[in-house]
Structure 1
Amino acid sequence: MLSAELFCANCGAANQSQDTYCFACHQPLQHTTTTTTTTTPAQTTHLLRQRYQLLERLGQGGMGSVYKAEDIELGNRPVAIKELSQKGLNQQESQEAEESFKHEALLLAGLMHPNLPRIYENFSEAGRWYLVMDFIEGETLEDYLARRGGQLPWSEIYEICIQLCSVLQYLHTRPTPIVFRDLKPLNVMLTPNRQVYLIDFGIARLFKPGQAHDTIAFGSPGYAAPEQYGKAQTRPNADIYSLGAMLHQMLSGIDPATNPFAFSKIPGIPASLQALLDKMLDMNAGQRIAYVEMVQEQLRRINTQNSSLLSPSIQTPAPTIKRPAPTPAPASNRASSRSVIYPPAPLPTPSTPPQAAPVSPVSTPIYIPGASKQPSVIYPPAPAPVSIPQLPVDTSYRGKLICHYQGHMGVVTSIAWSPDSKQIASAGYDKTVQIWDIKDGQLRALYAGNQANKKTRCIEAVVWSPNGKLLACVSNDGIVQVWDSQSLQTKTTYKLHKTGVHALVWSPDGSALASASDDKLSIWNPTNGTTILEREATYRQIQTVSWSSDNSYLAIGYQEPTIEIIRISLKDKLQQLETIYTGNKSGVTSIAWSPDGKYIASGGSDKTVQVWEFATRKHISTYAGHSGAIYALSWSPDSQSIVSSSADGKIQIWDPSNGKTLFTHPSANPTIYALSWSPDGKDIASAAHSSVIVWEAPDTP
């Protein structure tokens, strides 16, 4: 497969090969013909690094060629090798191309996600640079679309978009966000089992807060957001524009490169889907959907609410455009499809909350903290009755659904039980903390102390004090708020973290809070915000923290496969490194100390949970029942079981003594970002995107 793109020498934009002028900067394009030079690409019979046997050239683009090869040192394992081409470049351009190539290698080397190819090494040989990565068996989405006539059924579109949302979310939420900037069908690979891979990071860039604009404009016509060719710095939602262009193309069959920045309405699709497209493709980056998690959540809602309209057997009619007419379908097919071309009744936009009928104020007020110490009181309307769906039941399920809370307007990132197990505080991307009863799912109070800060993107964590009197939450900008659980008045604001805080935990005696950012662990007094202890990160980026039940130890998990244990004395302000050990093969994503203080469980991006005995440092078990990175785990109060969730969407309960699965939640869950066992041991709460489900903990042997 050879690229049909022509890159502008002035701005770097990718144009069609037949274009004369650049669509972005309007400068003349330089058409070159292929000639033989002294620096010819590697021949397919060549052995690179005395290890990689080149087999065939898979493609050629503006930055070089990609080859299929075999790694003869590892049983002829297939790999893909990207070669940097410097043909036709002057010295300065050659240096810039080399820096870009190294930039891609460094970006990929630090990433690990199911929808990204793994990188094995990069090297130079005979004056050329090479990047060795996973060989992906399949075809590009561009080729697949062409083979399918330009349009796809909704079932395939939905699966492709959900996977792309997942990988974009991963990139955008790195410590330094990564903007892909060239999302298009040519850079998406599909395997035979419909696994999606995002490829070609040649122009991806790190988003640097405070930087005014990008160094150079890059993008592909039709898919690149308008701001990529202006004077502003490209932000993560530029990728959302590109995803919207691809979604429009798959639904309509119209190639956006034929008329960049012009997207017609698509007849026959649900109004909610058209509304989502409009938000994704807004020319004004400030008005466009800001976070890909919101796109993913709305796609899930649209898919659920419009299953009959978006049936795989129903083809969305494309608007009239100037292109060759498709091959007529058999008469029987045309007749059957005619019944579905009537426009569906408009559906409410998912982002618009239902309006509750006027009711009398509830007994518990909502406080919206502001500059005043005595904020105004706002009584919330009683939420509309929430219908509780029946989860699929199999013979192993002996519990029942207790409550389904749907009050959030964004992804739920954290949940915390009240000490009496009667209420839950949940928080997420709508920048609120909502307190509600598990008995009836009714909202009792809403804390919005983070909404006034424009830098706040979401609430990363919420924790309840051991005595139930205080709550603390931390936002992505590193600001921690401590407030009264009854009056909701802010007690303390802690602002000493310079980067985003990833973990927040209360000491078991309630006297201190521990908050961890990328490079620092802080232990401080929640009543006055004074720092008790500080500790610089020993390794790369702190990701999770857990406090032992006796108040004496903190377990710290890092972005690399390392857990650090420190012994602390809050009274004497002492801290001492106790021990370091590794168990997971990659970064530690979550840590939980058993309630009896005997064991530590650590989940990682290697898809396993490791269990250790603290006193002896002995490894007890490995749980390998998940097929995705571990997102959350929680011990049962009696320390006999662990519940965990991962990127595979499954919730598993298992025995920490031997790693054997005791129970698998029977429902088909989306990704579970947070879960927690109730203090009384009766129930488990799990956050599935914008809702929280509370279900009875099943009896386990």
Structure 2
Amino acid sequence: MLSNLEKMKKFGFSIQTVLFLAFFLNTTLTAETLSKNIITVETDMHTSLITSISADKNSKYFLTSSYDKTLRLWDTKDGRLLKVFRVPPPEDTKLYKTKISPDGNHIAALTSEGVYIFDSDNGEIIKRIDLSVGYRIENYYYWFDIYYSEDSQNLAIYSLYDQTTKVYSAKNYEFIKKFNGKLFFSPSGDILNFDGRKVIIYDSHLRVKRKIKFPSYPDHVSFSKDGNMIAFGYSSALNEKTHYIKIEIYSTELKKVGTISDKVNQELLHKLFWSSDGKTIYAVYGIVTFKNYSFNKILKIDTSNKKIISTININNFGEVTDLVYLKDNKFAAVTNIPSILIFDKDKTILLKLNQRN
């Protein structure tokens, strides 16, 4: 009589198939077994909406986050994917925002489970910071903001829920201090704390230097690269009849030196960037939806004449979900396709990354 093995071979089963079936039929399909044997296929591009992008101080790297629960570190020069970071369980964890520290050493990821800190070199999780007690962040990724100080020494986490900012040391990510309102870090080391219309200026050691009253609470604040000038950005409310964005330029002594405004069609100001040489301010604005932003235009402002030079229309790039300034008047943007673009001030595309590359 033929053995079972010989019978299977007689009917055309290869020895590899026989061995596979023997293994499969004698293996209990537990969750643990599946997790050990399922192969993860890695692609070079995100497989879902890219939610944010950031860059280090020297624009050597840029970092992206996505609803596919990965963070990806890229080489700015040639667009090479350098490393993939994964958010740990549970499975329904959502990844909203990410920031790379200016020195490029650490990565902070805002998720529905808190803020995870990664070592950008070895990919290990250094710390998990809880943001709340008794609830998870769901959908409203704009309720929180995360950002590093210019010297990479501190991480700030701003909460719109209670309008406070918590500062953590980037050495060990231990909590340092809680502030009312939002903080803005200067390249010179000073810190602006807006608490309503009251401005408190701290030094790099969080000691109060002075307190002043300010005309109004800005939507956005951006320091020039040398720290000598500050741009404050404002948007009209969506329910106002006339819509505008306004940029006010101040010295570091908070003396106004110029105002620029422009009418818009219900768009809101999202971001402000100073050029590397301080001659230009880029004001990014676009449409706000219930769950997301969509950037469509960039105002180019001459800081000497306090005038709008031109408007860069980026509508034809697709739905731009986030954008960051790179050195030498370049930008890196992410779209909902998903794709990544690097383009210059003349809207010339220098690099494009997507699934088809």
TM-score band, normalised by the shorter chain?
A: 0.5 to 0.7
Equivalent residue for 2:201, pick from 545, 548, 567: 567
Q: Cα 1:512–1:616, aligned 2, differ >3 Å: closer, same or farther?
A: closer
Amino acid at match of 2:286: S
Aligned partners of 1:492 and 1:527 also within 8 Å: no
Equivalent residue for 2:296, pick from 646, 650, 671: 650
Equivalent position of 1:664 in the other structure: 312
Q: Distance in 2 between matches of 1:567 and 1:682?
A: 30
Q: Cα 1:605–1:444, aligned 2, differ >3 Å: closer, same or farther?
A: farther
Superposition deviation, residue 623 in structure 1: 3.2
The one of the two structures with greater contact order (alpha-carbon pairs below 8 A, sep at least 6) is 2
Aligned partners of 2:55 and 2:102 also within 8 Å: no
| Deviation per residue, 1:652-674 (Å, 9 max, x gap) | 24115324142423652444332
Q: CA RMSD in A?
A: 3.1
Q: Distance in 2 between matches of 1:496 and 1:576?
A: 30
SS at structure 2 position matched to 1:608: strand
SS at structure 2 position matched to 1:446: strand
Higher fraction of strand: 2
Amino acid at match of 1:494: I
SS at structure 2 position matched to 1:668: helix
Aligned partners of 1:408 and 1:430 also within 8 Å: yes
1:554 aligns with 2:198: no
Q: Distance in 2 between matches of 1:671 and 1:382?
A: 22
Aligned partners of 1:672 and 1:688 also within 8 Å: yes
Amino acid at match of 1:512: N
Equivalent position of 2:149 in the other structure: 507
Higher fraction of helix: 1
SS at structure 2 position matched to 1:565: strand
Amino acid at match of 1:490: I
SS at structure 1 position matched to 2:122: coil
Equivalent residue for 2:233, pick from 588, 602, 612: 602
Q: Which structure 2 residue ranges, 5 or more long, are not aligned? A: 1-38, 138-142, 238-243, 288-293, 348-357
Equivalent residue for 2:250, pick from 593, 613, 622: 613
1:580 aligns with 2:211: no
Equivalent position of 1:683 in the other structure: 330
Superposition deviation, residue 521 in structure 1: 0.7
Q: Which structure 1 residue ranges, 5 or more long, are not aligned? A: 1-377, 384-406
Aligned partners of 1:653 and 1:664 also within 8 Å: yes
Aligned partners of 2:301 and 2:308 also within 8 Å: yes
Equivalent residue for 1:533, pick from 151, 174, 177: 177
| Deviation per residue, 1:283-308 (Å, 9 max, x gap) | xxxxxxxxxxxxxxxxxxxxxxxxxx
Equivalent position of 2:222 in the other structure: 592
| Deviation per residue, 1:615-641 (Å, 9 max, x gap) | 243262233254311233322122222
Amino acid at match of 1:536: N
Q: Distance in 1 between matches of 2:212 and 2:41?
A: 49
- Superposed, 1:64-213 pairs within 5 Å as none
Q: Distance in 2 between matches of 1:550 and 1:534?
A: 22
Amino acid at match of 1:595: K
- Superposed, 1:385-534 pairs within 5 Å as 407-449=45-87, 451-453=88-90, 456-460=93-97, 462-477=98-113, 479-498=114-133, 502-518=144-160, 519=162, 520-534=164-178
Q: Distance in 1 between matches of 2:69 and 2:156?
A: 21
- Superposed, 1:267-286 pairs within 5 Å as none
Aligned partners of 1:626 and 1:646 also within 8 Å: no
Amino acid at match of 1:465: S
Number of residue equivalences: 281
Superposition deviation, residue 415 in structure 1: 1.1
SS at structure 1 position matched to 2:123: coil
Q: Cα 1:660–1:465, aligned 2, differ >3 Å: closer, same or farther?
A: same
Q: Distance in 1 between matches of 2:171 and 2:329?
A: 32
Q: Distance in 1 between matches of 2:132 and 2:200?
A: 20
Q: Percent identity?
A: 18
Q: Distance in 2 between matches of 1:517 and 1:686?
A: 25
Q: Cα 1:611–1:418, aligned 2, differ >3 Å: closer, same or farther?
A: same
Q: Distance in 2 between matches of 1:530 and 1:503?
A: 18
SS at structure 2 position matched to 1:624: strand
Aligned partners of 1:413 and 1:428 also within 8 Å: yes
Aligned partners of 1:630 and 1:646 also within 8 Å: yes
Q: Distance in 2 between matches of 1:454 and 1:506?
A: 28
Aligned partners of 1:610 and 1:621 also within 8 Å: yes
Amino acid at match of 1:641: T
Equivalent residue for 2:278, pick from 620, 631, 639: 639
SS at structure 1 position matched to 2:328: coil
Amino acid at match of 1:684: F
| Deviation per residue, 1:532-572 (Å, 9 max, x gap) | 111134xxxx6xx531111212354x9xxx66533224536
Q: Cα 1:659–1:504, aligned 2, differ >3 Å: closer, same or farther?
A: farther
TM-score normalised by length of structure 1: 0.36
SS at structure 1 position matched to 2:316: coil
SS at structure 2 position matched to 1:692: strand
Q: Distance in 2 between matches of 1:496 and 1:522?
A: 10
Aligned partners of 1:654 and 1:661 also within 8 Å: yes
